[in-house]
C-alpha cells in the first residue's frame, strides 16, 4: 500500500512531462490527423503561427500547399500568415495537402486554429487542467551611451522567456549590428539571453538599432514569437556647432534706419536635435572699427540689425564682425565656434555734384560749327563710376537759339560745351550761358529746388571773321510776262556783304539755266531774256522757272542763291481734247463723252464752250448733236441711226475769253458692249481679226523651228535609205520557226498558196508535177519575191511510207532545210540568199532529175500520192484536192491565220506589228 502511493506519485510525476510533450505534439502536428494551434484573435501579416511535422505524415512529399490562401506552409512545416487575420469567435481551420507527383500519392492534414484563452484539454480526464500563464516575452527598454569607454563587451540587458521553465531555450538575435552592418556589434549568450555590445558607438552615425530576438528549443521549435528589440544610442555633447560659412558677407545701404536687417548667419550641430546639445546661442564678440557700435545680433535666430542710422559710406565703407555660436543654450560649459562677418556699406546718392568754379569765360569765332569751346568740372563724394557719381549737365539759360550743347565725358565726368549752330558776330558779340548739373540717380535726401542743383555761368565772346557775301534769303522771286519780248531786262538776285550790309563789290554768275532763256549782269545781278518764254513748257512747274546764281566778292568768297522767275500767263493756248478717238457702242449707248483742257492758267481756261464746226457739203449737223456736261466736258450724241463705221466729227472748243480751235474727232460707231470689244477689231461691224505684228525675236524663233524640222526630216530619210540598202539578217535558229523576210525582186501575179501552213509561190517554180516548193511568196506592193536560203541541203520527206532521203544542195555552208510537205515543216535557214532567177536556174534542171528518185520503193516505183502532175484550172475552180501536197484553201484565203498554234500566233503578231 505504501508503495502504491509512491507509485502513484511517481506516475503523476511522469504524467506531467508526458502531458507537456503531448501538448507540444498537438501544437505542432498529429501525424496526418487534426492539428490544433492556439493563436491570438488577431494575427498580422507574415507572422509565425506554428509548426507541423510534415515528415511524420508524408516523408516523400514534394508538393505542399494550403487550402486557405491566408496561410503559407514552408518545407519545414512552419505556418505563416500571408495577410492580416481576425479570427471569429468560432474555430477556423484549413487543410495542408501533401502530395508526391511521381507516384501521385497525396495526404492531408487538418489544421484547427483556436483562441489562446481556451482551455487545452488533455487526453487523460483525471489529470489537472493546465492553463496558459502570462509570459514575460515582451520588448524591454534598452539603451547605451555613445562613445562609451567600456569595459567591453558591455552588458546591456537580459532577454528571457518564461517557456524556459519547461523547455531548454536557446536565445539568438538578428538585425543591424549583428548580421548586418555594422557587423558583430551586438551578440547574445545562447543559454542565458544576456545581450552585450562589443565596441563604442557614435550616435551621429547610428541613432538606434532595431534587433529581433528569437527563443527556440534545441529541436528548432519556436515557442515564442520573435521579439523586436530596440537599442537606442543616447547622445553625448561631442560635436561643436559649426557656422555654414567661414566668412559671411552682407551689404547694407548707408543712412539706413535703426533696426534695418543686415543679414542672418546660420550654424548647425550634429548632436541630437531638440536637446541642450543642439540649442544654440549667437553673439557678436568684436566690431572693427570698434566705435561707434552700429550692429547687434539676435541670440537665437542669428539676424544682424543696425543700431544706428549714422552709417556713412563716405566715412567708412566696410565693417568686420567676429561672431560666436555656442550650444547648451549658451552656458559656459557649452561648445562654441567663431566666424567672421563682413558688412559692406552700399552707396546711395546722398551727395550732390558741385562745380569746382562758379563762372567760366571763353571765346569762339563766328561761323564755326561742331567745335569744343570749354570743359567744366564737378566734385561728387559718392562712389565713382556709379549712377550716384555720374553727372548730367544742362544749359539752363542763354541757349534760346540752339547754338550750343553740353555733354558729359564718361571718362572724366566733365561737361563739354560745344557749338552746334554757327554764331554771327554782326548779330551778337557775347553770349552768357547758365549751366546746371545733377546726378543720373535721384537724390536720396529731402531737398528744396534751390539746393538740389549746382549751377555755373559761362561767358562766351564771339570773334569777328572777314566773311564772304551772304545769299539771304536763299530763294528770291521776280515776275515776268511769258510773252515778254527778247532782251527784256528785270531785276535779279541780290547778295550782301555782312559787314557793310550792301551789295557793292559783289559779282554774279549764272550756274544753272535749264532752258537758257536768261543772261545775268555780272555787276548788278539783273537778268535779261535771251529767248522767247513759254509758261507751258514741260520743265516749268507751277509757272516758276528757277535759275541758280553764284555771288562772289573780291576775296573769292562765294555764296549760292536761287532766283525763282514767275512766268505770268497770257492766253496763248486754245483748249485741247486729249482723247481724239471715241467709241460709241451702238448696242448699249447712244453717246460719248468729250473732255477738254487748256494748258494756260486757270484765268485763261474754263469754262469751255463746245460746238459742231460747219463743214460744206456735209451732214454733220444732221447726224450729230452736242450737249454740255460741265465747264470742261460735253457729250456727243448720234442721230438718225448711223451705220457701223468710223466718222470724223469737227468739234470747236473755246475758252472763257473766246480763244478756240477746231478739233477733228474720230468717232467709231461699233457693234460692241464695251469699248475693249471694239478696239481689238479692225472692222467695227464684222469683228475681223486684229493686225498681228511679230517682233524680230518671234521671227527668229520661227526660222529656227523650221530649220530644226528640216534637220529631223533629213535624218529620217537618211536612215530609211540606209535601212533599205542593208540586208536584213535572218535568225540562225529556224528550228523555232522564225519568219523569213523576203525582198521584192520582180512583179508577180499576186497569187499566194499555202501548203499546210507553209506559203508558196505558184509561178512555175517546179516542173513535172513536183509539190510546189520551197520558198515563200510575200505580197509587197503588187510584187512577189521568192527568196532562197544559202547553204546546206534541203530534204523532201514523202507523204507516206518510208523512202529515201534526197538532198538538194542550194549553196555551200552550214544549215539544213527540212520540209514536211504534208504536215508543214520546220525550216532552218542561214543568212545566205539568192534572187529568184538564180534559184530557178540552179534548181529546175536538178529538181527534174532528182524528183524521179523521190520516195521510190524497192521496185523503183513512185508512191501513188506523192508526185501528181496538175495544171491551173482557172479562177474559181471547183476541183478538190489532188494530193497531199495540193493547196487546201481557197484563193487568197487567210482564215488559217486565225487558227494558228500558240508558237505561230506569236510570230504572226510580230509580223503584223512590223
Tens digits of residue pLDDT in 654-713: 988 888 888 888 888 888 888 777 876 545 544 443 444 566 788 888 999 999 999 999
Residue 744 has pLDDT above 70, yes or no: no
Give Cβ neighbours of residue 498 (< 8 Å, ≥ 6 apart): 424, 426, 467, 469, 470
The dihedrals phi and psi of 705, each to the nearest 5 degrees, come to -65, -40
CA contacts within 13 A on the Cβ side of 144: 28
What does the alpha-carbon distance between residue 318 and residue 315 come to, in Å, rounded to a whole number? Answer: 10
Give the angle 95-100-104 at the CA atoms, nearest 5°.
100
Give the angle 551-555-561 at the CA atoms, nearest 5°.
15
Note whether 386 and 329 are within 8 A (CB): no
- For cell 547694407, name the residue: 252
Q: Which three cell numbers stand for residue 859?
A: 521496185
Q: Given this model, what pLDDT does residue 16 score?
A: 41
Q: What pLDDT digit, counting tens, does each position of 207-226 carry? A: 999 999 999 998 888 888 89
Q: What pLDDT digit, counting tens, does each position of 337-362 carry? A: 999 999 999 999 888 899 999 999 99
Residue 198 has pLDDT above 50, yes or no: yes
Note whether 623 and 590 are within 8 A (CB): no
370-382 average pLDDT score? 93
Residue 530 has pLDDT above 50, yes or no: yes
Note whether 112 and 33 are within 8 A (CB): no
- For cell 469567435, name the residue: 89
Q: Given this model, what pLDDT does residue 785 score?
A: 35
What ranges in 634-695 are assigned the alpha helix state H?
Answer: 675-679
What does the alpha-carbon distance between residue 554 and residue 557 come to, in Å, rounded to a whole number? Answer: 7
**Ramachandran region, residue 469 (left: φ > 0; alpha: ψ -120 to 50; beta: rest):** beta
Dihedral sign for Cα atoms in the order 36, 40, 42, 45? negative
Cα→Cα distances 656→89, 481, 534, 600, 659, Å:
133, 20, 21, 11, 8
Q: Given this model, what pLDDT does residue 855 score?
A: 53
Shortest CA distance to 844 belongs to which of 793, 788, 776, 768?
Answer: 768
Note whether 111 and 35 are within 8 A (CB): yes
**Chain Cα centroid distance, residue 400:** 58
180-190 average pLDDT score? 93
How does residue 853 score in pLDDT terms, banded at 50, 70 and 90?
A: low
750-761 average pLDDT score? 37
Residue 791 has pLDDT above 90, yes or no: no
What does the alpha-carbon distance between residue 487 and residue 521 come to, in Å, rounded to a whole number? Answer: 12
Q: Given this model, what pLDDT does residue 564 score?
A: 87
Shortest CA distance to 626 belongs to which of 577, 683, 671, 673?
Answer: 577
Note whether 467 and 552 are within 8 A (CB): no
Q: Given this model, what pLDDT does residue 846 score?
A: 72
Note whether 495 and 530 are within 8 A (CB): no
Give Cβ neighbours of residue 7 (< 8 Å, ≥ 6 apart): none
- pTM, full prediction: 0.41
Q: What pLDDT digit, counting tens, does each position of 249-260 carry? A: 999 999 999 999
For the chain, the straight-line distance linking the first and the last C-alpha, in angstroms and rounded, comes to 146
Q: What pLDDT digit, counting tens, does each position of 328-338 carry? A: 999 999 999 99
Q: Given this model, what pLDDT does residue 267 score?
A: 96
725 vs 755, which has greater pLDDT? 725
How does residue 868 score in pLDDT terms, banded at 50, 70 and 90?
A: low
DSSP conformational letter for 666: E
Note whether 833 and 790 are within 8 A (CB): yes
Tell me the sheet residues that pair with 80.
Answer: 48, 72
Q: Given this model, what pLDDT does residue 832 score?
A: 44
649 vs 280, which has greater pLDDT? 280
40-62 average pLDDT score? 81
Residue 160 has pLDDT above 80, yes or no: yes
Shortest CA distance to 206 belongs to which of 172, 238, 177?
Answer: 177
Tell me the sheet residues that pair with 66.
Answer: 96
DSSP-derived secondary structure for 632-646: SEEEEEE-S-PPSEE
- Of 313-327, 432-446, 648-662, 720-734, least confident by mean pLDDT is 720-734
Q: Given this model, what pLDDT does residue 695 score?
A: 66
How does residue 37 score in pLDDT terms, banded at 50, 70 and 90?
A: confident
Q: Given this model, what pLDDT does residue 26 score?
A: 36
Give Cβ neighbours of residue 274 (< 8 Å, ≥ 6 apart): none
How does residue 726 score in pLDDT terms, banded at 50, 70 and 90?
A: low
- For cell 508512191, name the residue: 863
Edge to edge, the sheet with strand 454-463 lists 359-365, 454-463, 430-439, 391-397
**b/e 229-254 (16+ beta carbons within 10 angstroms → b):** bebebebbbebbbebeeeebebebbb
222-233 average pLDDT score? 90
Shortest CA distance to 817 belongs to which of 765, 776, 766, 846?
Answer: 776
906 vs 173, which has greater pLDDT? 173
Q: What pLDDT digit, counting tens, does each position of 89-115 carry? A: 667 888 888 888 788 888 888 888 887
Q: Given this model, what pLDDT does residue 500 score?
A: 74
How does residue 786 score in pLDDT terms, banded at 50, 70 and 90?
A: very low
Q: What pLDDT digit, counting tens, does each position of 241-288 carry? A: 999 999 999 999 999 999 999 999 999 999 999 999 999 999 999 999
Q: Given this model, what pLDDT does residue 504 score?
A: 82
Q: Given this model, what pLDDT does residue 773 score?
A: 34
Q: Given this model, what pLDDT does residue 759 score?
A: 33
Residue 174 has pLDDT above 90, yes or no: yes
DSSP-derived secondary structure for 22-38: HHHHHHH--TTS-EEEE
| Average pLDDT over the chain, rounded to an integer | 76
Q: Given this model, what pLDDT does residue 374 score?
A: 94
391-395 average pLDDT score? 94
How does residue 861 score in pLDDT terms, banded at 50, 70 and 90?
A: low
Q: Given this model, what pLDDT does residue 847 score?
A: 74
Q: What is the CA radius of gyration of the chain?
A: 69
- For cell 538606434, name the residue: 208
Q: Given this model, what pLDDT does residue 898 score?
A: 64
Residue 738 has pLDDT above 90, yes or no: no
CA contacts within 13 A on the Cβ side of 631: 9
Edge to edge, the sheet with strand 227-234 lists 142-145, 227-234, 208-216, 170-174
Q: What pLDDT digit, counting tens, does each position of 574-583 carry? A: 888 888 888 8
Amino acid at each position: 500500500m505504501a508503495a502504491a502511493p509512491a507509485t502513484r506519485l511517481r506516475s503523476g510525476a511522469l504524467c506531467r512531462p508526458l502531458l507537456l510533450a503531448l501538448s507540444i505534439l498537438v501544437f505542432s502536428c498529429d501525424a496526418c490527423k487534426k492539428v490544433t494551434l492556439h493563436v491570438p484573435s488577431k494575427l498580422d501579416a507574415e507572422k509565425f503561427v506554428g509548426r507541423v511535422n510534415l515528415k511524420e505524415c508524408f516523408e516523400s512529399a514534394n508538393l505542399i500547399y494550403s487550402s486557405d490562401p491566408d496561410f503559407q506552409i514552408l518545407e519545414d512545416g512552419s505556418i505563416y500568415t500571408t495577410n492580416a487575420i481576425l479570427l471569429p469567435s468560432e474555430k477556423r481551420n484549413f487543410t495542408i495537402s501533401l502530395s508526391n507527383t511521381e507516384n501521385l500519392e497525396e495526404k492531408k492534414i487538418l489544421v484547427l486554429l483556436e483562441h489562446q484563452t481556451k482551455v487545452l484539454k488533455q487526453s487523460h480526464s483525471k489529470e489537472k487542467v493546465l492553463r496558459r500563464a502570462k509570459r514575460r516575452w515582451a520588448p524591454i527598454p534598452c539603451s547605451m551611451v555613445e562613445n562609451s569607454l567600456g569595459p567591453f563587451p558591455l552588458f546591456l540587458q537580459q532577454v528571457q522567456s518564461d517557456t524556459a521553465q519547461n523547455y531548454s531555450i536557446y536565445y539568438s538575435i538578428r538585425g543591424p549590428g549583428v548580421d548586418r552592418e555594422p557587423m558583430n556589434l551586438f551578440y547574445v549568450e545562447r543559454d542565458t539571453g544576456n545581450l552585450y555590445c562589443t565596441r563604442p558607438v557614435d550616435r551621429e552615425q547610428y541613432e538606434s538599432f532595431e534587433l529581433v530576438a528569437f527563443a527556440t528549443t534545441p529541436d528548432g521549435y519556436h515557442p515564442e514569437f520573435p521579439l523586436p528589440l530596440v537599442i537606442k544610442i543616447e547622445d553625448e555633447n561631442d560635436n561643436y556647432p559649426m557656422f555654414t560659412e567661414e566668412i559671411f558677407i552682407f551689404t547694407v545701404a548707408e543712412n539706413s534706419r535703426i533696426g534695418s536687417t543686415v543679414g542672418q548667419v546660420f550654424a548647425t550641430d550634429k548632436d541630437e536635435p531638440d536637446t541642450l546639445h543642439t540649442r544654440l546661442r549667437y553673439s557678436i564678440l568684436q566690431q572693427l572699427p570698434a566705435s561707434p557700435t552700429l550692429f547687434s545680433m539676435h541670440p537665437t535666430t542669428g539676424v544682424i540689425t543696425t543700431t544706428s542710422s549714422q552709417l556713412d559710406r563716405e566715412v567708412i565703407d566696410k565693417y568686420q564682425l567676429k561672431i560666436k555660436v555656442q550650444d547648451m543654450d549658451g552656458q559656459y560649459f557649452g561648445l562654441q565656434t567663431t566666424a567672421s562677418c563682413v558688412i559692406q556699406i552700399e552707396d546711395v546718392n546722398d551727395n550732390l555734384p558741385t562745380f569746382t568754379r562758379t563762372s567760366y569765360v571763353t571765346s569762339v569765332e563766328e561761323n564755326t560749327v561742331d567745335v569744343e569751346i570749354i570743359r567744366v568740372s564737378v566734385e561728387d563724394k559718392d562712389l565713382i563710376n556709379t549712377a550716384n557719381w555720374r553727372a548730367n549737365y544742362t544749359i539752363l539759360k542763354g541757349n534760346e537759339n540752339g547754338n550750343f550743347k553740353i555733354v558729359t565725358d564718361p571718362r572724366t565726368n566733365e561737361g563739354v560745351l560745344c557749338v552746334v549752330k554757327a554764331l554771327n558776330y554782326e548779330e551778337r558779340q557775347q553770349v552768357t550761358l547758365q549751366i546746371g548739373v545733377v546726378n543720373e540717380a535721384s537724390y536720396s535726401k529731402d531737398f528744396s529746388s534751390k539746393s538740389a542743383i549746382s549751377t555755373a555761368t559761362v561767358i562766351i565772346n564771339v570773334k569777328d571773321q572777314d566773311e564772304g557775301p551772304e545769299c539771304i534769303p536763299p530763294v528770291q522771286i521776280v515776275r515776268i510776262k511769258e510773252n515778254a519780248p527778247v532782251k527784256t531786262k528785270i531785276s535779279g538776285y541780290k547778295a550782301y556783304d555782312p559787314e557793310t550790309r550792301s551789295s557793292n563789290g559783289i559779282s554774279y554768275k549764272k550756274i544753272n539755266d535749264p532752258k537758257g532763256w536768261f543772261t545775268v549782269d555780272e555787276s548788278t545781278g539783273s537778268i535779261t531774256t535771251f529767248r522767247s518764254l513759254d509758261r507751258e513748257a514741260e520743265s516749268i512747274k507751277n509757272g516758276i522757272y528757277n535759275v541758280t546764281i553764284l555771288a562772289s566778292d573780291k576775296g573769292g568768297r562765294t555764296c549760292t542763291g536761287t532766283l525763282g522767275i514767275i512766268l505770268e500767263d497770257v492766253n496763248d493756248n486754245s483748249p485741247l481734247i486729249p482723247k481724239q478717238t471715241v467709241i460709241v457702242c451702238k448696242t448699249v449707248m447712244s453717246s460719248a463723252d468729250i473732255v477738254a483742257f487748256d494748258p494756260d492758267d486757270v484765268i485763261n481756261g474754263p469754262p469751255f464752250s463746245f460746238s459742231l464746226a460747219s463743214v460744206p457739203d456735209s451732214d454733220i449737223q444732221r447726224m450729230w448733236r452736242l450737249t454740255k456736261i460741265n465747264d470742261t466736258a460735253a457729250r456727243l450724241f448720234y442721230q438718225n441711226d448711223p451705220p457701223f463705221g468710223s466718222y470724223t466729227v469737227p468739234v470747236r472748243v473755246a475758252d472763257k475769253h473766246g480763244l478756240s480751235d477746231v478739233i477733228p474727232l474720230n468717232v467709231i460707231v461699233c457693234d460692241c458692249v464695251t469699248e475693249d470689244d471694239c478696239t481689238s477689231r479692225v472692222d467695227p461691224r464684222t469683228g475681223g481679226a486684229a493686225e498681228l505684228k511679230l517682233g524680230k525675236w518671234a521671227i527668229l524663233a520661227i526660222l529656227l523651228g523650221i530649220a530644226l524640222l528640216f534637220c529631223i526630216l533629213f535624218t529620217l530619210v537618211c536612215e530609211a535609205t540606209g535601212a533599205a540598202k542593208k540586208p536584213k539578217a535572218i535568225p540562225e535558229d529556224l528550228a523555232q520557226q522564225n519568219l523569213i523576210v523576203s525582198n521584192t525582186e520582180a512583179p508577180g501575179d499576186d497569187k499566194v498558196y499555202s501548203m499546210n501552213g507553209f506559203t508558196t509561190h505558184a509561178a512555175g517554180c517546179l516542173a513535172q508535177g513536183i509539190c510546189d516548193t520551197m520558198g515563200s511568196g510575200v505580197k509587197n506592193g503588187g510584187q512577189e519575191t521568192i527568196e532562197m536560203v544559202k547553204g546546206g541541203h534541203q530534204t523532201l520527206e514523202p507523204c507516206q511510207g518510208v523512202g529515201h532521203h534526197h538532198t538538194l544542195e542550194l549553196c555551200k555552208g552550214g544549215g539544213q532545210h527540212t520540209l514536211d510537205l504534208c504536215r508543214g515543216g520546220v525550216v532552218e535557214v542561214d543568212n545566205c540568199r539568192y534572187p529568184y532567177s538564180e534559184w530557178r536556174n540552179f534548181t529546175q534542171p536538178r529538181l527534174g532529175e532528182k524528183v524521179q528518185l523521190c520516195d521510190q520503193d524497192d521496185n523503183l516505183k513512185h508512191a501513188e500520192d506523192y508526185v501528181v502532175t496538175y495544171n491551173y484550172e482557172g479562177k474559181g475552180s471547183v476541183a478538190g484536192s489532188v494530193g497531199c501536197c495540193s493547196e487546201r484553201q481557197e484563193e487568197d484565203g487567210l482564215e488559217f491565220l486565225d487558227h494558228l498554234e500558240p508558237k505561230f500566233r506569236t510570230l504572226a503578231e510580230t509580223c503584223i506589228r512590223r
